[in-house]
Structure 1
């Protein structure tokens, strides 16, 4: 059970309006939005090329492998690359800041297993 009184714990609104939380949200958006925009542009460029420029996609690259196949496989590589980049960034930048905010809210200690049940 949480030993801090409800009056001592900040409300969600107070946490959301804190400078630390705003910075956390700004950093998150600063990473996620550009990655999302990049991937969507890259994905739709592939679809547009496949739909409207089949001659370009049919350009042979090696033996029976054409440009369309290479670009299609690069979609998977891009997905994995973005995922790996996000996990590394989150481990290094996002998670430590989120944990610091959580610890400050909880009075300097992470939630115990019993306390997590109270949040459900």
Structure 2
């Protein structure tokens, strides 16, 4: 790809990036991802802090050798998979159609 073609492609992307539609896409993405990340980090740090400052609580047996700490740890994996599943469904429904429309504008043949 020549430098001229690359510059034209970069200019087209920068022009698309400044549109209201692109900004709406970014806002929608951030509106989902930032709160979900905050939730997961709070949940993770709760687990870590309880492990450090409440070992008696985390060591309480629930059934057999299964402790509350073990359930919290397994809950981290369950939460990770759930967030991934929720995001994939949400993105397919909400984000991808908007992104595809913007991508089609970027890929459309340009008039010279």
TM-score (structure 2 length as normaliser): 0.84
Partner of 1:27: 28
Paired residues of 1:10 and 1:105 also in contact (CA < 8 A):
no
Give, in angstroms, the shift of residue 38 of structure 1: 0.4
Give, in angstroms, the shift of residue 30 of structure 1: 0.5
CA-atom RMSD in angstroms: 2.0
Give, in angstroms, the shift of residue 68 of structure 1: 0.4
Give, in angstroms, the shift of residue 107 of structure 1: 2.0
Residue ranges of structure 2 left out of the alignment (5+ in a row): none
Q: Which runs of structure 2 are paired with 1:1-120 in the superposition (5 Å)?
A: 11-107=12-108
Aligned length: 103
* 2-structure distance, mates of 1:12, 1:104: 10
Residue ranges of structure 1 left out of the alignment (5+ in a row): 109-120
Give, in angstroms, the shift of residue 10 of structure 1: 5.9
Q: Which has the higher helix share?
A: 2
Q: Which has the higher contact order (CA 8 A, sep 6+)?
A: 1
Paired residues of 2:13 and 2:106 also in contact (CA < 8 A):
no
